């Protein structure tokens, strides 16, 4: 199973709109992300999104851009920022082992999920690929990205 994690695109501040829909910039971000996903040749068996408007809008724009059926987006509270990662992991483990799943949600839930998934795992670093790890202080590191050579060539 491959799990792709994406934080929702930029939304209006809560002071401007309590529901926090995507801002015009966020809409552009989501559309550009969809184009990038399509250029990378990624296909998802499942798109999972938070029920929050900004996450669901992001999922809808990604789905539209990659021709994934909008009606097949799985909306679940397991992706909300305050949920335990295990709830989402339990949901994902019900999918076939060969599944490719895009999860669109919120921080810090996505970071917690990534940490849970990587514990005891290893990061594959390929020839001519590029990996960025941010080390903001002692005993702390964060994977910024891990691109294969083919991705860099795009």
Specify the CATH number for the domain of residue 31: 3.40.50.1240
C-alpha triplet 132, 133, 138: angle, nearest 5°:
160
Query: What is the enclosing helix (H) or strand (E) of 36?
Result: helix 24-39
Q: Are residues 115 and 129 in the same domain?
A: no
- List b or e across 15-42, with b for residues whose CB sees 16 or more CB atoms inside 10 angstroms: eeeeebebbeebbebbeebbeebeeeee
Q: Are residues 60 and 128 in the same domain?
A: no
What's the mean pLDDT in 110-114?
A: 84
Q: Are residues 30 and 68 in the same domain?
A: yes
What's the mean pLDDT in 61-72?
A: 96
Q: Are residues 99 and 138 in the same domain?
A: no
Q: Are residues 50 and 109 in the same domain?
A: yes
**120, pLDDT greater than 70:** no
Q: Which domain holds residue 47?
A: 2-121
Domains: count for the chain: 2
Q: Tell me what pLDDT residue 10 has.
A: 93
Q: Tell me what pLDDT residue 116 has.
A: 80
Write down the pTM of the prediction: 0.84
Contact between 47 and 63 (Cβ < 8 Å): yes
């Amino acid at each position: 199973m491959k799990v792709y994690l994406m934080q929702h695109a930029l939304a209006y501040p809560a002071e401007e709109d309590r529901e926090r829909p995507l801002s015009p910039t966020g809409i552009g971000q989501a559309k550009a992300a969809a184009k990038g996903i399509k250029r990378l040749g990624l296909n998802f068996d499942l798109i999972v999104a938070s029920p929050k408007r900004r996450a669901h809008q992001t999922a809808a724009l990604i789905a539209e851009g990659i021709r994934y059926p909008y009606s097949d987006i799985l909306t679940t509270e397991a992706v909300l920022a305050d949920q335990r990662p295990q709830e989402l992991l339990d949901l994902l483990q019900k999918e076939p082992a060969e599944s490719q799943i895009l999860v669109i949600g919120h921080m810090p839930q996505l970071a917690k999920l990534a940490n849970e998934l990587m514990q005891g795992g290893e990061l594959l670093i390929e020839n001519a690929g590029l990996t960025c790890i941010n080390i903001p202080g002692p005993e702390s590191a964060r994977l910024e990205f891990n691109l294969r050579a083919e991705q860099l060539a795009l």
